[in-house]
Structure 1
Amino acid sequence: MAVIELHDAYIMQEVNTVLQKVSFRLEKGEFAYLVGRTGSGKSSLLKTLYADLPLGGGTGTVADVPLQRLSRSQVPQLRRKLGIIFQDFQLLFDRSVADNLLFVLNATGWTGKARKKQRISEVLMRVGLANVAGKMPHQLSGGEQQRVVIARALLNEPLLLLADEPTGNLDPDVADSIMRLFVEINHAGTAVLMATHNYPLLRQYPQRILQCKDGHLLDSATANLELSGR
């Protein structure tokens, strides 16, 4: 079963086409990197997959939701099936870690105080942060904040994690521990599509690579890629 399937898709940034005739499938439980120079279309592709940008042409489905006929009211339904991880964390700094996670559970329709508390406890334990629920984000290191972001992305047991440069602001040792966490999550059955510039990680944790280059998406499964920085 494919969690992402695009066919002849056009990825747009406002009125500009950044990627054209994009066709690829990501299967359930698969892991792929998304690479390319700054401005090559990586973030625009991810934003199209979670419906922050409209599909410019062609067809696409993400978690069985068709992108080309997606109304604004259907976007929350799609995002409940996804975990989205940003480079800049986007945590709410006026509330505790637990309340950051509670905000998402409330926004995605969870009910029952005990059930929500249990789920928050589960995801924090999953990312190795069982004791930080009562802390404020500013009391955590960058690596710990990124683990909270990953915990937040796991709350609704997503089919697919979309990660945009999740190690971009972290030092190498912390980036490696975050990467090991992604590998664990993937081995437990969640598909991962990760945009990254971190070529040492690609060597250390080899997976399929999708490369944005010259307006097209190249796939290591079907082509030999020339990757600068490797």
Structure 2
Amino acid sequence: MHVVELHDAYIMQDVNTVLQRVTFTLGKGEFAYLVGRTGSGKSSLLKTLYADLPLGGGVATVVDYPLQKLATGKVPYLRRKLGIIFQDFQLLFDRSVADNLLFVLNATGWKGKARKKQRISEVLMRVGLANAAGKMPHQLSGGEQQRVVIARALLNEPLLLLADEPTGNLDPDVADSIMRLFVEINNAGTAVLMATHNYQLIQQYPRRVLRCQDGQLLDSTAASFRVGE
């Protein structure tokens, strides 16, 4: 089963085509890096996959939702099957870690106070923050905040994690610990597509690499591919 399937897809940013004729699949439980220079289309591709940007043409299916004919009302249902992780955390700083997670559970239709509390505790334990529920985001380090973001992304047991530069603002040791967490999550069966500039991580944790370059998406599984930019 594929969690992402694109065929001759056109990725747009405003009125500009940033990537054309993109064809690739990502299998259930697969891990791939997305690399390329700033402005090469990495973020636009991720935003298209979670329906923040419209597909410019071609065919794209993400967790069984066809993007080319996705009604606006169906977008929340698509996103419930995805975990989305941003570089700048996007936590709500006026509420505790637990309340940040509760906000997502409420927004995605969870019912039952005890069930929600249990799920919050499970995901915080999973990311190594069992004692952080009552803390405010500003009381946490950058690495801990990113772990909260990952916990938030795991709440609905996604089939696919989309991560946009998740280690971009973190020092190397913290980045490595976050990367190990992604590997663990992936080993447990969640597919991961991670945009990154960190070639050290790619060398340390080698996986398939997709590179945005000159309007094309190049795949490391092709014979002509070279990793460096």
Q: Shorter-chain TM-score category? A: over 0.9
Match of 2:121 in 1: 121
Distance 1:173 1:123 in 2: 22
Q: Secondary structure at the match of 2:37?
A: coil
Match of 2:23 in 1: 23
Distance 1:112 1:175 in 2: 35
Q: Secondary structure at the match of 1:68?
A: helix
- Deviation for aligned residue 1:132: 0.3
Q: Secondary structure at the match of 1:94?
A: coil
Per-residue CA distance 1:79-108 (angstroms, 9 max, x = gap): 000000000000000000000000000000
- Deviation for aligned residue 1:224: 3.3
Q: Secondary structure at the match of 1:90?
A: coil
Match of 1:153 in 2: 153
- Deviation for aligned residue 1:71: 1.4
Match of 2:33 in 1: 33
Match of 1:74 in 2: 74
Distance 1:191 1:228 in 2: 24
What's the TM-score, normalizing by structure 1?
Answer: 0.99
In the alignment, structure 1 segments of 5+ residues that lack a partner are none
Match of 1:144 in 2: 144
Q: Identity over the aligned pairs, expressed in percent? A: 84
Root mean square deviation of aligned Cα: 0.7
- Deviation for aligned residue 1:228: 3.3
Q: Secondary structure at the match of 1:48?
A: helix
- Deviation for aligned residue 1:72: 1.1
- Deviation for aligned residue 1:135: 0.1
Per-residue CA distance 1:110-161 (angstroms, 9 max, x = gap): 0000000000000000000000000000000000000000000000000000
- Please show how residues 155-170 of structure 1 align to structure 2 within 5 Å: 155-170=155-170
Q: Secondary structure at the match of 2:122?
A: helix
- Deviation for aligned residue 1:222: 1.5
In the alignment, structure 2 segments of 5+ residues that lack a partner are none
Q: Secondary structure at the match of 1:158?
A: coil
Per-residue CA distance 1:56-97 (angstroms, 9 max, x = gap): 000000000000001111100100000000000000000000
- Report the residue type matching 2:92 in the other structure: L
Q: Secondary structure at the match of 2:24?
A: strand
Distance 1:80 1:226 in 2: 35
Distance 1:225 1:14 in 2: 29
Distance 2:153 2:12 in 1: 25
Q: Secondary structure at the match of 1:74?
A: helix
- Please show how residues 67-216 of structure 1 align to structure 2 within 5 Å: 67-216=67-216
Number of residue pairs the alignment of both structures matches: 229
Distance 1:49 1:225 in 2: 24
Match of 2:62 in 1: 62
